[in-house]
Amino acid sequence: MKTKPFWWEEAEPTHGERRFDTRKFSVVIIGSGYGGLSAAITLAEAGVTDVAVIDAQRIGEGASSRNGGQIGSAAKFSLDEAARRFGLQRAREILDDYDQAMPFMLKRAATLKDAFDLNLSGSVSGAHSYKDLKAFRAYRDGLSLDKRASVDVLDADEMQAVLKTDIYRGALVKHDTGSIHPAKYIRALANRARELGVRIFTGFRYVGSTRASGHFDIRVEDVETRNTVQLSAEKVLMAANGYVDPSLRWLRQRTIPVQSYMIATEQLPFDQLEELMPRNRVAGDTKHILYYFRRSPDGTRILFGGRARFQTSTAEQSAVGLRKFMLHTFPSLERAAISHSWFGNVCFAYDFCSHAGRMEDGVHYISCCNGGGISMMTYLGHRSAEMMLELPGHDRGIVNSHFPRLYFYNGNPWFLPVVGTFYRALDRTARLFDKAG
Ligand SMILES: Cc1cc2nc3c(=O)[nH]c(=O)nc-3n(C[C@H](O)[C@H](O)[C@H](O)COP(=O)(O)OP(=O)(O)OC[C@H]3O[C@@H](n4cnc5c(N)ncnc54)[C@H](O)[C@@H]3O)c2cc1C
């Protein structure tokens, strides 16, 4: 078994430039994931020159080249819950941002020259309990007529036609979502950014910046030599998501980095997998500690993700737990060997909302994919570029929304095992007292 992302077989991250021939930029963006590169593309498309993207790792080597490749974007809260936190107007705008994220990502995708296995054959979300199935029905009934046409709610028998497992009470099927090859997508974004004149530097860690009159003095450290390089820029954007450095206290106090794990099976007969997951739809479920899974773009492997353990785990350790979850879902895969196991960091906010704005030191940020950020971080990169361009109307929805912090929290998520155990207990209890009707 290889302990690297399956995606890297076809699109392993590459280094960008390793030498600075200029030290002065208009905008410096930290993080070469979807968020950072999308911000750079919007700035360059608006005519901003001298934009630099800097990453401590290779291009997109954070979560963006390691994820499950499922591209939907749904808020993890209702309008009422958001209204209590942000006020009704802001709450409506925030939910509108969640609706806009995937259409924006598809619009941006249409401008990319490189293919990345975009597949819009839909998604299936398994209902863990009858209560969740009822919530799916209420969700569908609350949609406008045109949106309702793209959604189906199926009971456990009906769902066998879209996902062949008996562990769910039914499912919500969305016909207008789907999947990508995540590492090919990041490569396509990087190529588009470079085509527009954006410079991408890798192997440099952002250490800090000081605001001087009209610009920022920025310190980055060469990861290999440990030499410090001084740069300057008019604006700085932090797009580090779950990889934010512990020294960046303002962001760390507001964010919880969490590891997410995945495995891939060896190649299996196409027809066997077509029976389990017809038409290569992607799948997830409604548990607190959810499973998410799909087939590889060529349809011959199952890629299965989730949180196998709440302690920090190695790829070998997590593979054992994930394989168990996969067999729970699809017992017929008993003989399938695991070819790859890997993990990466996602980032949660206490309010489960994504955030963008400016920190007290003037540095812009986008943060908190809350587990699913292919569409959202692509979109938020664009929105934060609009903010840096000071375009009218940029202060709405997620941009400049209140970003809560926990006062007893110093950035080290020591409580995750406790929270994990609690959520697992909730998932078990939901099935113990589960009744149809
Ligand atoms: C296993 C897994 C499965 C997932 N599945 C899905 C899915 O199916 N669908 C979905 O929508 N989302 C999924 N996600 C989440 C998705 O991958 C992320 O939301 C998205 O990639 C975040 O993009 P980003 O640009 O914000 O951050 P990242 O891609 O994480 O990029 C942040 C970058 O910042 C760099 N960085 C951080 N600090 C510094 C510093 N001080 N100096 C220099 N560089 C720095 C890091 O090196 C990193 O490359 C998954 C994530 C994981 C890990």
pLDDT at 308 over 70: no
What residues does 172 pair with on adjacent strands? Answer: 125, 153
How far apart, in whole angstroms, are the C-alpha atoms of residue 89 and residue 158? 39
DSSP single-letter state for residue 84 = H
Q: Can you tell me which atom of ligand 1 is nearest the CA of 204?
A: 43
Alpha helix segments (H runs only) across 344-394: 374-388
Distance from the alpha carbon of residue 406 to the mean position of ligand 1, in angstroms: 23
Q: 122 CB less than 6 Å from ligand 1?
A: no
Cβ partners under 8 Å of residue 408, min gap 6: none
Q: 82 CB less than 6 Å from ligand 1?
A: no
Tell me which of 346, 363, 364 to substitute to probe ligand 1's pocket, judged by most ligand atoms within 8 Å of the beta carbon.
Answer: 346
Residue 202 phi/psi, 5-degree rounding, is -125, 160
Summarised one tens digit per residue, pLDDT across range 66-113 is 999 999 888 889 899 999 999 999 999 999 999 999 999 999 999 999
Cβ partners under 8 Å of residue 298, min gap 6: none
| Residue 422 CB-density burial (10 A; 0-12 exposed, 13-18 middle, 19+ buried) | exposed
Q: 32 CB less than 6 Å from ligand 1?
A: yes
How far apart, in whole angstroms, are the C-alpha atoms of residue 313 and residue 141? 41
| Residue 213 CB-density burial (10 A; 0-12 exposed, 13-18 middle, 19+ buried) | exposed
Summarised one tens digit per residue, pLDDT across range 398-427 is 999 999 998 778 778 888 888 888 888 999
Q: Answer yes or no: CATH 3.10.180.10 is held by domain 7-118+182-244+351-405.
A: no
Q: Which two tokens stand for residue 380?
A: 């938020």
pLDDT at 311 over 80: no
Q: Provide the Cα torsion 81, 86, 89, 92; round to 10°.
A: -50
Say what the pLDDT of residue 309 is. 63
- Mean pLDDT throughout 266-283? 97
Q: Which two tokens stand for residue 179?
A: 């999947």
Distance from the alpha carbon of residue 238 to the mean position of ligand 1, in angstroms: 12
Distance from the alpha carbon of residue 154 to the mean position of ligand 1, in angstroms: 33
274 alpha carbon, distance to own chain's centre: 26
Alpha helix segments (H runs only) across 142-209: 145-148, 182-195
- The sign of the torsion formed by the CA atoms of 317, 302, 276, 167 equals positive
Q: Can you tell me which atom of ligand 1 is nearest the CA of 375?
A: 11
Q: Can you tell me which atom of ligand 1 is nearest the CA of 342?
A: 1
Q: Can you tell me which atom of ligand 1 is nearest the CA of 292?
A: 8
- Provide the strand spans (E) within 99-227: 123-126, 151-155, 170-174, 199-202, 204-212, 215-222
Q: 313 CB less than 6 Å from ligand 1?
A: no
- Mean pLDDT throughout 110-132? 97
Q: 33 CB less than 6 Å from ligand 1?
A: yes
Q: Whole-number mean pLDDT of the chain?
A: 95
pLDDT at 383 over 80: yes
For CATH 3.50.50.60, the residue range(s) in the chain are 7-118+182-244+351-405
For CATH 3.30.9.10, the residue range(s) in the chain are 123-176+256-348+429-437
Q: Can you tell me which atom of ligand 1 is nearest the CA of 345?
A: 53
Say what the pLDDT of residue 420 is. 86
**Quick one: three-class SS letters along 218-248?**
EEEEECCCCCEEEEEEEEEEECCHHHCCCCC
Distance from the alpha carbon of residue 368 to the mean position of ligand 1, in angstroms: 10
DSSP single-letter state for residue 149 = T
Pick the CATH number of 123-176+256-348+429-437 from 3.90.1170.50, 3.30.9.10, 3.40.190.10, 3.40.1190.20: 3.30.9.10
Tell me which of 67, 204, 295, 355 to substitute to probe ligand 1's pocket, judged by most ligand atoms within 8 Å of the beta carbon.
Answer: 67
DSSP single-letter state for residue 332 = G
